[in-house]
Amino acid sequence: MTFSAVIVAAGSGSRAGPGQAKQWRLVAGKPVLRWSVEAFLAAGAAAIVIVTTEDGEKALPEVLAGLPGWRVARGGATRALSVQSGLAALADRPQDEPVLIHDAARPFVSGATIEGVLKALEAADAALPALPVADTLKRAEPGQTPSTTSREHLWRAQTPQAARRQTLLDAYAAWSTGEPTDDAQVVEAVGGRVAIAPGDPLLLKLTYPEDFAMAERLAGAARITRVGQGFDAHRWGPGEEVWLCGVAIKHDETLIGHSDADAGLHALTDAILGAIGEGDIGDHFPPTDDKWKGAASDLFLKHAVDLVTAKGGSLVNVDVTLICERPKIKPHRQAMRERLAQILSLPLDRVSVKATTTEKMGFTGRGEGLAASAVVAVETPV
């Protein structure tokens, strides 16, 4: 089932304490909003709308760097108006396509939750994830003795909440009784049938300062780190320059290969593919295909990064080692790091390029070729 998503990220988050609005703060080193965008991309969202403020719109290119498939809508004075703005930004999508409305302040949305809500929507007009209330409930006015309230049939509503786009548009157009607290309530008010899907205890809403401390602890349970390694080698041949880690270096020989023979980028591409279990560079760009003859190897690397993103993952850091007697790598190392950081959308301090020789031993020591090895760390949802 194809679906779209609207992520509401226009609130000020004043209850979260001083500083940035909560959707821009970091959890486990990553902006809160980015967690949700990565999750919806991994689940296959056909379109993602980020509803935010004017200042938030300016921040999005950096917050969501490297992530494809998102668009922006301007938020309103209330959550309901922000949701309607997001729905309007999906005017090019089918009227009956499911739309998942999600609060950016719930960063740990999982593929299982998204799948469960979409499944529940098949037999309903709207669906939401929810958890049964487990704690004993007390009701009390200030200064009065509390009374116990039954928790039977009570649920804690979460997001994302789903309905077909036109259903949501019609329901919001008919709403006239104050500010709704969620989208299922709006559909319910026009007589729509609302289904409950299994909620997720990890899908907490970040509201107060102490919630961020809890989120930091939960982040480790929501993500795993994968390590991949890659190796590549090319022989020397006649030429005037060599491409290494995306940088052209003047040299009295060149590396021979089907593409531009950038051994550094090839090793790094293989390392990323290995980390996510997607085979090797030859599986995606066969050397027998003339389409890739002479191709710039940054195309291969960008493809591998896109596959990581499609899984809801992100690169943590990369480390490339070039093995050769010549050319001298040190004068070009900083340029290589900067180029890799640009291609990978990583901070410079997460990119390492090193060089070594084999003390005149082996094919690199004899000057017959150059080799490269790479190690990467990739973070993905569990």
- Classified as helix, coil or strand, 181 is coil
Please count the CA atoms within 13 angstroms of the CA of 184 that sit on its side-chain side: 22
What's the pLDDT score for residue 65? 87
What's the pLDDT score for residue 66? 82
Q: Which residues of the chain have pLDDT under 70?
A: 12-19, 221-222
Cis peptide before 209 (omega within 30 of 0): no
- Classified as helix, coil or strand, 275 is helix
- Classified as helix, coil or strand, 358 is coil
Tokens read off for 104: 């950016």
What's the pLDDT score for residue 346? 92
pTM over 0.75: no
Residue type, 57: E
What's the pLDDT score for residue 196? 98
Tokens read off for 29: 């080193």
Q: Name every residue whose Cβ is closer than 8 Å to that of residue 293 and which is 6 or more positions away in sequence.
A: 258, 259
CA distances from 229 to 268, 292, 374, 376 (A): 8, 23, 5, 6
What's the pLDDT score for residue 372? 98
pLDDT tens per residue across span 235-247: 999 999 999 999 9
Q: Name every residue whose Cβ is closer than 8 Å to that of residue 347 and which is 6 or more positions away in sequence.
A: 341
Helices (H), the chain: 32-43, 54-63, 79-88, 111-121, 165-174, 183-189, 209-222, 263-275, 281-284, 298-310, 333-344, 362-365
What's the pLDDT score for residue 116? 97
Sign, Cα dihedral of 245, 250, 255, 256: positive
Q: How many CB atoms lie within 10 A of CB 152?
A: 7
b/e 313-350 (16+ beta carbons within 10 angstroms → b): bbbbebbbbbbbeebebeebbebbbbbbbebbbbeeeb
